[in-house]
Amino acid sequence: MTIDLKTIKHIAKLSRISVDDEKAKKLAGDLNSIFDFIEKLNELKTDQIKPLTSIAETSLKLRNDEIKSQNMREEIIKNSPEKNEDYFVVPKVIE
């Protein structure tokens, strides 16, 4: 399916919007590229694919709440540029 300038002008008239010739040519090109893409999508074989209506229909897999690592305080504090016992030292924000 191709859209020509006559069709663009007709649609513009029905929509009661003004479209000059330059903009009509651009619209025709844009619409033709959209219709080309739709034709490519129509070529796909989707017979065996179940339609997806919503991703909210899926349920999350539950897992046990387990502690996997313990006593990592030393490793975490080691990442701090400046430390004070077991805490990070950060610059003062409010004066």
Residue spans of the domains in the chain: they are 5-42
Q: Answer for the pair 8, 27: CB distance below 8 angstroms, yes or no.
A: yes
Answer yes or no: is pLDDT of 16 > 90: yes
Q: Answer for the pair 82, 89: CB distance below 8 angstroms, yes or no.
A: yes
DSSP 82: S
| pTM greater than 0.75 | no
Q: Answer for the pair 90, 79: CB distance below 8 angstroms, yes or no.
A: no
- CATH assignment of 5-42, among 1.10.10, 3.40.1130, 3.90.25, 1.10.20: 1.10.20
Enclosing H/E stretch for 67: none
Q: What is the pLDDT of residues 50-88, one digit of tens each?
A: 887 777 777 778 888 888 777 787 788 777 777 677 777
Give the pairing of strands 83-84 and 87-88.
Answer: antiparallel
The per-residue pLDDT for 87 is 77
In single-letter form, the type of residue at position 78 comes to K
